[in-house]
Amino acid sequence: MSYLALAIAVGVALPVGFAIWDFLRLTRKLRESEERWKFALEGAGDGVWDWNVQSDTVVFSQRYKEMAGYTDEDIAANEEAWRHRIHPDDRVQVDQEIHACLQGRTKTYCNEHRVICRDGSVKWVLARGMIVSRSTDDKPLRMIGTHADITERKNMEERMRHMAHYDLLTELPNRALITERLQQAVIKARRDKTHMAVMFLDLDRFKPVNDTLGHDIGDLLLKQVAGRLSGSMRASDTVARLGGDEFVVLLHAIDHEHDAAVVAGKILHALNQPFRVADHEISISGSIGIAAYPQHGEDEKLLLINADIAMYHAKKAGRNDYRFFAPDMQ
């Protein structure tokens, strides 16, 4: 775009008798202003893009291209080429928000999405933009904006989310996440008139391992236990660690109580195989209590309490076994 066109685009009035030296002075000021604007944005680490909407040509700053590992030869100067670098799962949302800005339904465009880099890796960017020029009939002519790399912030958010919902030692869901999934499972079972079950598992003879071999060995053992429990589950089920040597298993859909008994048997068999931990062979077992919906409770809290009660009866009966909850256990 020439600076005369730019002057017109940004609404600078050109009076009658406008002399060539006045034009040169104006273009110099516009050039200086644009250079300062781009310098400020580049200095902030943002990539800059300048889109001529009518001709569908885009000018990308050096920082914009470097951010995703591209060179001048890699990026065609049109909006469609830019769009194809957006992660496929994010394109619809980006399109919707850009069009809202082009149509004047929003004053600015602001969106967080993923960009596919030249080497195939993915980065998160914060894209901002605004219409800086419209025609007399209000059609968008020019849109400018920036891309900021927010990958580190997104990764930190994901780590924080993971820490809030997963046990740091075993990587299993923690108490908060299993409670949430239990609530959802009960709601679904109630709506669909189906059955589900909750298991409360406590390891047998785990305390002597900590006392004689130390907590480091105990932690390594818990990680192996978590692996065996996960291997005994269907993909649709959930095993979580509440803390210490206590675990909860959520069976999302069962036809009858026998299905839960089969899973409990698989878990006990897996735990009965000796564990090899740092040159130590360790033998443990587990006690399991089972509460099924709806016969043993109609909400997640009661199901978990009753499964816990049934687990203690399994321990009292000699350990290494499972028990279904029964009303007389209370």
Catalytic residues: 245
Instruction: Please state, in angstroms and rounded to a whole number, the distance separating the CA atoms of residues 29 and 10.
Output: 13
Instruction: Please state, in angstroms and rounded to a whole number, the distance separating the CA atoms of residues 236 and 188.
Output: 14
Helix H or strand E segment including 312: helix 300-316
- Token couple for 119: 């080497």
- Token couple for 188: 């679904």
Q: How many CB atoms lie within 10 A of CB 17?
A: 6
DSSP 8-state assignment for residue 77: S
Cis peptide before 294 (omega within 30 of 0): yes
- Token couple for 114: 């993923």
CB-CB contact of 47 with 147 (8 Å): yes
- Token couple for 57: 């040509």
Strand partners for 286: 203
Q: List own/partner pairs for 229-234 with CB under 8 A and 24 or more apart.
A: 229/172, 229/201, 229/267, 229/270, 230/172, 231/270, 232/263, 232/266, 232/267, 232/270, 233/263
Q: How far is CA 100 from CA 81, 86, 107, 163, in A?
A: 20, 18, 9, 36
10 Å CB burial of residue 261 (0-12, 13-18, 19+) is middle
